[in-house]
Structure 1
Amino acid sequence: MKTLSKTRRPAPPREQQRLDPTEREAIIAREAVSFFAEHGFEGQTRELARRLGITQPLLYRYFPSKEALIERVYQEVFVGRWNPSWEKIITDRSVPLKARLGRFYREYAQVILTYEWIRLFMFAGLKNLGLNARYLKMLRERAFEKVIEEIRFEYGRPSTGDLPITVLEIEMVWGLHAAIFYLGVRQFIYSMPLETDVDSIIDAKVATFLGGVRTVLPAKTSP
């Protein structure tokens, strides 16, 4: 005797999950970070919306323009990931300067030496969006000027409050910073893996920097 098989009714279509607006906005921002890191800022919001599984009009409900979305990416990646405690690390004179700079740059490297950070920074510069200039201004004020003040104190030179920072001093700190940033360029732009661990490279670069920087410092003041 033939048994009749039960026919299954098709499952009703699942409704698109309704999200809290704040949560939806955060999801869009996170995906935008990933999307622009992969495609550059030439990437189209239409494609980003498709990846998110939403319509472009819905995306624009949260971010009214592509420029607003890029600004959110800047705030998320470059401003939001800056750790204010780094400034205290640099200026804590209870710790030897070499150890302070080594710690600061090791922690800083953990934030910036990533696929997203390096590629977004490079793409922003190529697109001339002005984001790089804003970030580097912040970097100079929060880190570079403090590093120079601490170096002057270490070697008994005039305070930056008494004698302005020189162009050569800034250039030397730029050189150290750029050398560490370049480790990320090698990995995420040139696809060249590092042959030793980042911390060892940073410690060596800091030691080399401190060994030579005194040659560009202002002369000691007469007693």
Structure 2
Amino acid sequence: MRSADREKLIVTEAVRFFAECGFEGQTRELAKRMGVSHAVIYRHFESKDALIERVYDHVYVKRWNPDWEPLILDRSRSLQARLTQFYLEYAERVFDYDWVRIFVSSGLKSYGLTERYLDIIRTKIIRPAALELRHELNQSSDPDSLTEEDLELFWGLHGAVFYIAIRKFVYGEPVEIDIEKAVRNTMNAFFVGVKEARES
């Protein structure tokens, strides 16, 4: 097998291994599963941390769609329409056994991957969406006007959608629902709530 192909295979196998065992799983056990010597892994990756970094790139960075950022800012559509499209596409990409379990495992073991990914969500989705909501409500959309309460509103929305995946892939619940309908219902409930809060 060519070196590049072997490296890709190690990353692919490592994704599933860490999803099942968490980051406390040993590379020696990963090698055993693959039917190769432990030295083969370290021929391609200088350390376990280097392998974990490649897993992060493979599972998280490469699944991020750069079109999501301008989507959130597209004022030719309502913010509800934009966020509905984003979360439908987002769910399609991240409602995945490996993605969710590695995300949770990283957070528990302090490998820093979860924090880095959440920073992407914060800067590219949460803050822009909060500013866009302020614009729609005819409030100041100056970035300095954002409050923790503004941001927390959208973290709650994000969590409501993502929790479906947590229930299925972490807790092992038989979540057999129409994801599209669930996302649309969540968006509707969120924006009805925002409107009612504004009018009260």
Give the TM-score band, short-chain normalised. Answer: over 0.9
CA distance in 2, matches of 1:174, 1:39: 28
Alignment match, 1:190:
171
Q: Please state how far the C-alpha of 1:180 moved relative to its aligned partner.
A: 1.0
Specify every segment of 5 or more residues in structure 2 that has no aligned partner in the other structure, as ranges: none
Aligned partner letter, 1:189: V
Deviations 1:65-102 (A, max 9, x none): 11111111111112221110111221112222211110
Alignment match, 1:177:
158
CA contact (8 A) 1:172 1:213 kept: no
Return the TM-score normalized by structure 1: 0.84
Aligned partner letter, 2:18: F
- Quick one: structure 1 residues 216 and 54, their matched pair in 2 at CA, closer, same or farther if it must change by over 3 Å? farther
Deviations 1:127-171 (A, max 9, x none): 11111111111111111111112111211111134x431100111
Deviations 1:173-211 (A, max 9, x none): 000101111101110111112353011111111112122
Residue of structure 2 aligned with 1:30, choices 12, 18, 26: 12
Moved more, 97-106 or 152-161: 152-161
- Report which of the two structures shows the higher radius of gyration computed on alpha carbons: 1
Would you say how many aligned residue pairs link Structure 1 and Structure 2?
198
Alignment match, 2:2:
20
What pairs up with 1:44-63 in 2 under 5 angstroms? 44-63=26-45
Moved more, 150-159 or 59-68: 150-159
CA distance in 1, matches of 2:177, 2:6: 40
Moved more, 203-212 or 116-125: 203-212
Identical counterparts, % of pairs? 45
Q: Please state how far the C-alpha of 1:25 moved relative to its aligned partner.
A: 1.0
- Quick one: structure 1 residues 104 and 180, their matched pair in 2 at CA, closer, same or farther if it must change by over 3 Å? same
- The runs of 4+ residues in structure 1 deviating greater than 4 Å are 214-217
Aligned partner letter, 2:136: E
Specify every segment of 5 or more residues in structure 1 that has no aligned partner in the other structure, as ranges: 1-18, 218-223
CA distance in 2, matches of 1:195, 1:38: 21
The structure with the largest helix share of the pair is 2
Alignment match, 1:70:
52
